[in-house]
Structure 1
Amino acid sequence: MPKQTVNARNSFVLLALFVLVCSGGCATYPISHDKAVPVARGALFEYPYFHDQLTGIAVSGQGRIFVNFPRWDKDPLYSVAEVLPDGSLRPYPDHGWNRWGGDEAAHPEAHFICVQSVFVDHSDFLWILDPASPGFKGVVQGGAKLVKVNLKTDQVERVIPFAPSAAPHESYLNDVRIDPEGNFAFITDSGSGAIVVVDLESGKARRLLSSHPSTRAEPGYVPVIEGKELRNEDGTVPKVHADGIALDSRREYLYYHALVGRTLYRIKTSFLKDPSLPEKELGSHVERVADTGAADGMLMDAQGNLYLTILEENAVKRYRPSEPTLTTIIQGGLHWPDSLAISPDNYLYVTDSEINLAPRFNHGKDLRILPYKFYKAWLMPFSHDGLLPP
């Protein structure tokens, strides 16, 4: 299959767009001197020329970049790819896993069907979440799975399939976070609303909070993106349930957010991991954290800063649990900021999926702008005495 190539010099286009770090405008220096708060410095870098709509992004401890392309309204060239230093895409982990549409249907557990997200854990393993629902038309039987890849060998190390009890036909598993020490995975279901908790030792998955309002789209809420209400062709508001997810650095709390919703929630992971806890009691432990507006991707850094992609402002914001405020980190030039990743050299990466410009939200007219892109901005750490040197 031909490679999708990007000229390396053109891949890193410096936009004349400076990053907002406060609601009042551009700032060079932080207001606070708390060493746990990074701020964005300089401009936003653009990585263009993706011919397929991308959603997820992950960066390894070695700086390797991985992206994924869901099978929504067309077949992508690859479902998962590594972005090589010269800008070309390498099907990952190989061509075989990225084949779908022919005889591969006989082995849905061994091929990517509709990958929604990728995530690199603290042990530098790549996890690939495949909800296996192409075009949101229902889960392909035997296809929903979580795939673990060893980045040292580039080999699939494990495949965890999901039974209908964990991923029913109408589900759409969306994003995943891994607790390698506790040996658990936490997954949001944006299709029917739930948190799926996977015991990585046994491979058993439990579907939790499926009837709790925290995992459901909020009734009566209509996101307004780029001046337009987000509605389906028939005028209804899409019911996109639990979507963004983040695990704090101590793995004590799981944060999550319905996409069509204003509210950020969290719950202690100890409650989620306790199989003896009745569902009703589990729901009583859910905590309302903040009103953020519609959010898609979420990511917690090692210092406890929570980053969220805020759709109605086409922005990336930072929330600090110790200081209940939202600070704008990136804004402008984005069309539906989606997933987030942080690299070892402290760059914040964000994909730009243009979901609101798709035909389903524009009376059948495709308003998406090619090429698709992801961006990065450097997060400057600083000490109590001021900014740290670059």
Structure 2
Amino acid sequence: MKRTSIAGRRRGVAASTLGPVLLFFLSCGASAANAQQMRDLTVEFQSPSLIINGITTTPSGRKFVVIQPLTAKQPQVAEITTGEPIAYPNAAWNGRKPSEDGSIRFVGVNSLRVGPDGMLWVVDRGAPGIGKALVPGGPKLIRIDLANNKVTRIYDLSTVAQGKSFVDDVRFNGKHAYLTDAGRPAIIVLDLETGNARRILENHPSTVAHRPLTAEGKQLRDSEGKPIIIHADQLEVSADGKWLFYQPCTGPMSRIETRYLDDPTLTPDALDRNVQSFADTPSTGGTAIDANGTIYSSDTNRSRILKIAEDGSISTLIADPRLAWVDAMWIDDSRKLWMPAAQLNRVAGLNDSVDAVYWPVTVYSIEIGEKPVRR
């Protein structure tokens, strides 16, 4: 593939309800193969009250989730054991009062993942919601030791996340962490040794959202009817660490060699010349990447999971109406792709003030037969 530079949610619908879903699928003209694929979905966890938009697991089987709380009593980060998820690493971290600063409390967690070091890493955007003001000390990256369940380091991102910033997600590559800013479009490069951070590709066409954000055939709008805009969002690092793939929430996906990201001496123009177009992706909830270089991307508009090959070509892994806004996905060591069907497009704040969530919210998985990449 030729590379070119870029310038410029109702209660009562259970996940086990397959018959009506099949009828829906067939009535829409889906193939028998796709209808068969629906049976491959495994229900890993369900919640009657929590919006779960991200999941990560450990080799020993521990499971951690990100929750977008609907009430002040709901945690933002939790461990799934038995029954309801338990606030993690403790209730204090999940119990910030509005008058408190955000330096040692979660303000607005957007993503988490078990890193290549076996630690749990949590991205705090630093604001209580999209378009909300940043809380002092709020934007940060938190490292938690899973052996003792203690926070071992907090990377303050206040110097690079300001104004309308919305720190979104993170991936790792050696001593560097790459984060996306979905509010003030940019990539943040963080030196994990020194804690120094800098912004690159700021307001670059590859980090700015140019298309309407849609899901299930409808454009997302806030409580005032304004279109939701999410800039630099999903990102993945290749297995060999050579490439960073990234995109605004509405696509398309671009890539750049990490050696350019890691070089603080490069000018914006030099970085710009090395950005390549990669794949024409649609509105996306989340991504994951396997050891063979295939990127899995959730198509929020058509409720499906796409596979993006190393040449940028796109195919469909599975299409299923239950996969409503699959957000931050995860590939575990048993070669399963975990998919939290968060239904974010159905919550009132993103659905023109209309609450349309179908409970329970479900985390699904599907066998993909490929090893994960720990980045």
TM-score, scaled relative to structure 1:
0.82
Distance 1:102 1:263 in 2: 37
Equivalent residue for 2:84, pick from 85, 88, 107: 88
Post-superposition Cα deviations, 1:58-109, rounded to whole Å, max 9, x if no partner, equal 11122211101235x643511110111x243221111221121166x15x21
Equivalent residue for 2:191, pick from 194, 199, 215: 199
What SS does the aligned partner of 2:260 have? helix
Equivalent residue for 2:334, pick from 324, 334, 345: 345
Whether 1:305 aligns to 2:294 is yes
1:4 aligns to what?
none
Whether 1:97 aligns to 2:89 is no
| Greater alpha carbon shift after TM alignment, 60-69 vs 328-337 | 328-337
| Greater alpha carbon shift after TM alignment, 54-63 vs 41-50 | 41-50
What SS does the aligned partner of 2:234 have? strand
Distance 1:245 1:183 in 2: 17
Letter in 2 for 1:100: R
Distance 1:207 1:376 in 2: 35
In structure 2, stretches of 5+ residues that fail to align are 1-13
1:385 aligns to what?
none
**CA shift at 1:46, angstroms?**
4.9
In structure 1, stretches of 5+ residues that fail to align are 1-11, 30-38, 383-390
**CA shift at 1:331, angstroms?**
2.6
What SS does the aligned partner of 2:307 have? strand
Equivalent residue for 2:254, pick from 244, 265, 269: 265
1:114–1:132: 8 Å Cα contact kept in structure 2?
yes
Post-superposition Cα deviations, 1:309-367, rounded to whole Å, max 9, x if no partner, equal 11111111111114623233353212211110111111111112212112234432211
Equivalent residue for 1:321, pick from 286, 296, 310: 310
Compared CA separation, residues 230 and 25, structure 1 to 2 (3 A): farther
1:243–1:296: 8 Å Cα contact kept in structure 2?
no
Whether 1:242 aligns to 2:240 is no
Post-superposition Cα deviations, 1:94-130, rounded to whole Å, max 9, x if no partner, equal 1221121166x15x21111111100111221110000
Equivalent residue for 1:150, pick from 128, 131, 145: 145
Distance 2:199 2:268 in 1: 10
Distance 2:273 2:370 in 1: 37
**CA shift at 1:140, angstroms?**
0.4
Compared CA separation, residues 79 and 362, structure 1 to 2 (3 A): closer
Q: Give runs of aligned pairs for residues 147-296 of structure 1, distance below 5 A.
A: 147-163=142-158, 165-179=159-173, 182-218=174-210, 221-259=211-249, 261-296=250-285
Compared CA separation, residues 308 and 365, structure 1 to 2 (3 A): same
Count of residues paired in the alignment? 350
Compared CA separation, residues 40 and 148, structure 1 to 2 (3 A): farther
1:131–1:173: 8 Å Cα contact kept in structure 2?
yes
1:70–1:76: 8 Å Cα contact kept in structure 2?
no
Compared CA separation, residues 293 and 94, structure 1 to 2 (3 A): same
**CA shift at 1:193, angstroms?**
0.9
2:56–2:63: 8 Å Cα contact kept in structure 1?
yes
What SS does the aligned partner of 1:81 have? strand
Compared CA separation, residues 226 and 146, structure 1 to 2 (3 A): same
Compared CA separation, residues 362 and 78, structure 1 to 2 (3 A): closer
**CA shift at 1:381, angstroms?**
5.2
Letter in 2 for 1:273: D
2:135 aligns to what?
140
Compared CA separation, residues 269 and 88, structure 1 to 2 (3 A): same
**CA shift at 1:291, angstroms?**
0.8
2:51–2:68: 8 Å Cα contact kept in structure 1?
yes
**CA shift at 1:300, angstroms?**
1.0
Q: What value does the CA root-mean-square deviation take over the aligned residues?
A: 2.7
Post-superposition Cα deviations, 1:162-218, rounded to whole Å, max 9, x if no partner, equal 12x310121111111122xx2111111111211111000100111111120100111
TM-score, scaled relative to structure 2:
0.85
Compared CA separation, residues 343 and 280, structure 1 to 2 (3 A): same
What SS does the aligned partner of 1:212 have? coil
1:172–1:189: 8 Å Cα contact kept in structure 2?
yes
**CA shift at 1:13, angstroms?**
6.4
1:61–1:124: 8 Å Cα contact kept in structure 2?
no
